[in-house]
């Protein structure tokens, strides 16, 4: 009966379903899913982007176009001197490698878990700053050609740093990001320690951290608005 | 059926001459059968896709209509509005004719299927069945033989090599399995003694729960039933016997050069043939529309007369269709030599021997011969015949010339 045992296999699968009822029902995305980008803002509404063009420089697909400009003194767009005046990402080129996110010194650009967009015009594929920037509630703006439901943008900037921006080993395990519009300060991920005095942080690390804090505050303790709400 | 037109025989509708109302009833029945077939093909394609999806842990069609039920309709509309192309080397008139040669026998074959019992419409008694010709199930063999022309001419007139290969395969396959199919039908005919589908169904009428095993022919003719189902799947070119359109080998087979609605017609004909074959199998082996009537209603209540027989018929056909889908989801396509080997070396012999043995047993019972002699004698004779046939099969390394 060997050649008929297949019949039991097929009938045994009846009722078991592994696929989902896709557009209505979506399975959860991985924690660090690389979807389309958003440009984040501080909790006071200021833009995080400082127009430094590091993202454009690191982009292997050359899909990012940034032009910085001086902040108008009476109505600054971002904390500090400069802000991103033009910010465009061409999604016909983007390979979602996340290098721009890693390069960004201010966590201005992050990748969301949103990936379902089908544009019918080439101009739509080039996301301008208006389209990338999060709205007043810190949520990604849904474009007409994007298909995603409410709730899927909950973790728009799900990317989290494992190390401090400077990449110093002593900062490893320390939550070092700033507050974010609509989300506040991120809670530490599993495996990270929230504060230097948390269990697991060695004496040397704590000392190094304290020293670095002084240095950091000495450098840009002034000139920053409420935007400097880091995870200190 | 004495003295009547052999095509119209049997149906009491024509017993009192033919007037306008009789013609209207026949036209209405024709249109109904036409619509039922089209709708059931639409349903079957959806059903097949859903069941296969179920067996492959998928969901299947879900976008068009509730549970994707209108998916076939959407496919049909799309195919209808597609451009139709004709190869420059095609034989144009034949190329255009072929799809209709394929679909018309598919429609006509269903005419002999008894869908329900005897009903009364405006004083006229008639069977829920389009036609009850005296030639009965031979009509099915006729129509599947004519349907072959559609496939053959399609492949030949395309002026292209793959369709030609596909249609050559089709003709060889259909000829091979037609023999087994016919012999399997003989396995029922020796019991029924008539070719008329209505008479065969009436002999399987439901009298008690014993009818299931004794009156229905599936158990007395179990060998013929199995052979019939296998041969019917092969005859309609359905998996695992769909070598006619083996994509890996022949692109699309005989319909490679067809596009748009003509392509759709071939597909319609193929699924229609499968539904017809299942309906014929229900008629021959599973009692057709017979089944227990609802006891709490009177026997001539409209539910017992109209609804229940049609319901039983539908359920039985659905069970068989589910089985074909199950086979489709399970078995991989056969190699061509396996197909020919199965048809010629096994099915035809077994069907032949089964028909012989059941003929001896039936005739013996009819003549009052001792069953303890006829049955062993028939089986012994069958064993001898099978051994001789088996001994004649060329073995590996043996050439045909040596056997001659």
Neighbours of A197 (CB within 10 A): 9
What is the rounded CA–CA span in Å between residue B98 and residue B92? 10
**Domain spans of chain B, in order of start:** 12-334, 337-393
Q: Give the pLDDT confidence score for residue A66 in this predicted structure.
A: 94
Percent of chain B with pLDDT over 70: 96
- Residue B319 pLDDT more than 90? yes
* Dihedral over Cα of B237, B240, B241, B242: its sign: positive
Considering CB atoms only, which of B59, B62, B330 is closest to A7? B330
Distances (CA, A) of A201 to A45, A161, A197, A211, A230: 34, 18, 7, 15, 19
How far, in Å, CA of A50 to CA of A83, rounded? 4
- Band of the pLDDT at B202, cuts 50, 70, 90? confident
The predicted model gives B2-14 an average pLDDT of 59
**Residue pair A101/A159 in contact by the 8 Å Cβ criterion:** yes
Q: What is the mean pLDDT of residues B221-229?
A: 89
pLDDT bin (cut points 50, 70, 90) of residue A191 is low
> Which candidate from B54, B58, B331 shows the least CB-CB separation from A6?
B331
Residues B326, A9: C-beta atoms closer than 8 Å: no
User: Residue B10's pLDDT band (boundaries 50, 70, 90)?
Assistant: low
* pLDDT level of residue B5 (50, 70, 90 thresholds): low
pLDDT band at A67 (very low <50, low <70, confident <90, very high): very high
Give me the phi and psi of B4, to 5 degrees please: -90, 165
Q: How far apart are CA B375 and CA B382, in angstroms?
A: 10
For B158-250, where are the alpha helices, taking DSSP H only? 161-192, 197-203, 211-214, 222-235, 247-250
Distance from B110 to chain A by nearest Cα, in Å?
Answer: 30
B35: pLDDT confidence band, cut at 50, 70 and 90? very high
What integer pLDDT is reported at residue A222 of this predicted model? Answer: 42
Percentage of chain B with pLDDT > 90? 11
DSSP type of residue B118: E
pLDDT digits (tens, 9 = 90+) for A16-46: 888 888 888 888 887 778 888 989 888 888 8
What's the confidence (pLDDT) of residue A61? 92
Contacting residues for B43 by C-beta, under 8 A, at least 6 apart = B69, B72
Query: What are the boundaries of each domain within chain A?
Result: 20-158, 163-220
Question: Please, what sign has the CA dihedral across residues A89, A92, A96, A99?
Answer: negative
Q: What is the CA B355 to chain-centroid distance, rounded?
A: 19
**pLDDT higher than 60, residue A175:** no
Mean pLDDT of the region A215-231: 44
Are B56 and A14 inside 8 Å of each other by CB?
no
Residues 6+ apart with CB under 8 A from B75: B45, B264
Confidence of residue B374 (pLDDT cuts 50, 70, 90): confident
Question: What is the average pLDDT score of chain B?
Answer: 84
Q: How far is B62 from chain A (nearest CA, A)?
A: 8
Nearest to A11 among B57, B59, B326 (CB): B326
* Fold classification of A20-158 (topology level): Alpha-Beta Plaits (3.30.70)
**Whether residue A179 has pLDDT greater than 80:** no
Whether A34 contacts A98, CB under 8 Å: yes
Segment A149-178 shows an average pLDDT of 57
Given a contact cutoff of 8 angstroms between Cβ atoms, the answer to whether B263 and B79 are in contact is: yes
Q: Is the pLDDT of residue A230 over 50?
A: no
Residues A79-119: pLDDT tens digits?
A: 888 999 999 999 999 999 888 888 888 888 888 888 888 88
Q: Which residues of A touch B54 (CB under 8 A)?
A: 13-15, 17
Q: Strand, coil or helix: what is B119?
A: strand
Using CA atoms, how far apart are residues B183 and B347, in angstroms rounded to an integer? 9
Please report the pLDDT score of residue A199 as a whole number.
46
Distance from the Cα of B342 to chain A's closest Cα (Å) equals 14
Q: Quick check: A10 and B329 CB within 8 A?
A: yes
- Which phi-psi region, left, alpha or beta, contains residue A45 (left: φ > 0; alpha: ψ -120 to 50)? left
Cβ(B110)–Cβ(B279) below 8 Å:
yes
* A93-97, A176-180, B86-90, B263-267: least confidently modelled range: A176-180
Q: State residue A64 phi and psi, 5-degree precision.
A: -105, 135
Tell me the pLDDT tens digit for each residue of B156-172. Answer: 898 888 888 888 888 88
Q: Does pLDDT of B56 surpass 80?
A: yes
B73-84 per-position pLDDT tens digit: 898 899 889 888
CB-CB under 8 Å, B59 with A19: yes
Q: Which of B56, B62, B331 sits opposite A13 (nearest CB)?
A: B56
How far away is chain B from the Cα of A228, in angstroms, using its nearest Cα?
49
Question: Chains A, B: CB contacts under 8 A, how many?
Answer: 31
Chain B residues touching A10 at Cβ < 8 A? 55, 326, 329-330
Candidate ranges A160-164, B216-220, B305-309, B384-388; pick with highest mean pLDDT: B384-388
Q: What is the mean pLDDT of residues B187-203?
A: 85
Distance CA B166, CA B155 (A): 7
Residue A60 is predicted with a pLDDT of: 94
Reported as a pLDDT band with limits 50, 70 and 90, residue A167 is very low
Compute the average pLDDT of residues A153-182.
57
Question: Would an 8 Å CB–CB cutoff place B57 in contact with chain A?
Answer: yes
pLDDT digits (tens, 9 = 90+) for B322-373: 999 999 889 888 888 888 888 888 888 888 888 888 888 888 888 888 888 8
Dihedral, A28, A30, A34, A37 alpha carbons, nearest 10: 50
pLDDT for residue A207: 59
Q: Are B38 and B30 in contact (CB under 8 A)?
A: no
- Comparing CA positions, the residue from B290, B289, B241, B232 lying closest to residue B114 is B289
pLDDT at B356: 86
Contacts of B188 (CB under 8 A, 6+ apart): B200, B217, B221, B224, B284, B285
For the stretch B93-148, pLDDT in tens is 999 889 998 889 988 888 888 888 788 877 777 888 888 888 888 888 888 888 88
Task: Give me B286's structure tokens.
Answer: 């599973």
Q: Is A64's pLDDT higher than 90?
A: yes
Q: What is the dihedral of CA A174, A175, A177, A178, to 10 degrees?
A: -120
Torsion of CA B296, B298, B301, B307, to 10 degrees: 50
Window 89-128 of B: residues touching A by CB (8 A cutoff) are none
B253-288 confidence digits (pLDDT tens): 888 888 888 888 988 888 999 999 999 999 989 888
B58 lies within 8 A of chain A by CB:
yes
pLDDT at B222 exceeding the cut of 60: yes
Q: Give, in order, the Cα–Cα distances in Å from A145 to each of A49, A137, A140, B47, B52.
A: 25, 21, 14, 33, 33
Can you spell out the DSSP letters for chain A?
A: -GGGTHHHHHHHTTT---S--TTTS-PPPPTT----EEE-B-TTS-B------HHHHH-TT--EEEEEEEPPSSS-SSSSSEEEEEEEEETTT-----HHHHH-TTS-EEE-S---B--SSHHHHEE-HHHHB--TTSPPPPPTTB---TTTTTTTT----SS-TT--GGGTTB---B-BTTTBSPPPPTT-BSSTTSTT--HHHHHHHHHHHHHHHHHHSSS--GGG-B--
The 8-class DSSP code of residue B194 comes to -
Q: What is the mean pLDDT of residues B369-386?
A: 86
């Amino acid at each position: 009966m060997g050649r008929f045992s297949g019949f039991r296999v097929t009938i045994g699968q009846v009722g078991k379903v592994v696929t989902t009822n896709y557009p209505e029902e979506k399975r959860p995305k991985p924690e660090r899913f690389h979807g389309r980008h958003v440009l984040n803002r501080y909790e006071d509404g200021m833009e995080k982007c400082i127009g430094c063009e590091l993202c454009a420089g690191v982009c292997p697909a050359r899909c990012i176009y940034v032009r910085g400009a001086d902040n108008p003194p009476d109505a600054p767009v971002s904390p500090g001197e400069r802000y991103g005046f033009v910010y465009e990402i061409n999604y016909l080129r983007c390979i979602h490698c996340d290098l721009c996110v890693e390069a960004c010194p201010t966590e201005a650009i992050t990748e969301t878990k949103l990936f379902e967009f089908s544009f019918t015009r080439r101009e739509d594929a080039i996301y301008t700053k208006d389209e990338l920037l999060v709205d007043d509630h810190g949520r990604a703006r849904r474009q007409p050609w994007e298909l995603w439901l409410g709730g899927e943008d909950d973790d728009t900037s799900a990317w989290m740093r494992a190390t401090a921006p400077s990449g110093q080993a002593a900062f490893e395990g320390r939550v070092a990001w700033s507050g974010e519009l609509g989300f506040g300060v991120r809670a530490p991920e599993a495996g990270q320690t929230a504060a230097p005095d948390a269990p697991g942080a060695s004496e040397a690390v704590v000392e190094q951290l304290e020293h670095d804090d002084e240095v950091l505050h000495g450098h840009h303790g002034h000139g920053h608005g409420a935007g400097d709400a880091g995870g200190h | 059926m004495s003295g009547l037109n052999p095509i119209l025989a049997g149906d009491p509708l024509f017993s009192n001459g033919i007037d306008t109302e009789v013609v209207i009833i026949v036209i209405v029945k024709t249109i109904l059968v036409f619509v039922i077939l089209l709708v059931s093909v639409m349903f079957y394609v959806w059903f097949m896709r859903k069941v296969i999806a179920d067996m492959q842990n998928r969901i299947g069609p879900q976008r068009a209509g509730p549970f994707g039920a209108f998916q076939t309709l959407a496919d049909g509309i799309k195919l209808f509005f597609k451009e139709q192309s004709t190869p420059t080397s095609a034989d144009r008139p034949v190329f255009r004719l072929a799809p209709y040669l394929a679909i018309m026998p598919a429609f006509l074959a269903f005419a002999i299927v008894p869908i329900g019992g005897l009903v009364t419409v405006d004083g006229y008694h008639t069977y829920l069945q389009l036609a009850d010709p005296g030639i009965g199930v031979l009509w099915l063999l006729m129509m599947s033989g004519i349907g072959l022309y559609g496939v053959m001419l399609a492949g030949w007139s395309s002026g292209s090599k793959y369709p030609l290969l596909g249609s050559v395969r089709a003709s060889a396959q259909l000829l091979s399995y037609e023999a087994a199919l016919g012999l399997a039908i003989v396995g029922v005919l020796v019991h029924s003694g008539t070719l008329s589908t209505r008479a065969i169904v009436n002999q399987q009428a439901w009298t008690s729960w014993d009818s299931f095993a004794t009156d229905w022919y599936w158990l007395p003719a179990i060998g013929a039933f199995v052979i019939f189902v296998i041969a019917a799947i092969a005859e309609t070119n359905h998996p695992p016997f769909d070598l006619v359109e083996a994509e890996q080998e022949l692109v699309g087979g005989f319909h490679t050069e067809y596009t748009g609605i003509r392509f759709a017609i071939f597909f319609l004909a193929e699924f229609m043939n499968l539904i017809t074959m299942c309906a014929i199998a229900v008629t021959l082996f599973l009692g057709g529309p017979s089944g227990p009537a609802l006891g709490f209603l009177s026997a001539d209540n409209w539910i017992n007369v109209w609804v229940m027989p049609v319901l039983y018929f539908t359920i039985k056909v659905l069970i068989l269709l589910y089985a074909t889908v199950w086979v489709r989801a399970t078995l991989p396509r056969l190699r061509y030599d396996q197909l020919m080997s199965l048809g010629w070396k096994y099915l035809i012999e077994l069907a032949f021997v089964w028909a012989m043995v059941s003929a001896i047993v039936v005739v013996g019972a009819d003549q009052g011969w001792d069953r303890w002699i006829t049955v062993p004698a028939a089986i012994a004779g069958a064993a001898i015949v099978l051994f001789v046939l088996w001994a004649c099969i060329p073995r590996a390394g043996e050439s045909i010339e040596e056997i001659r």
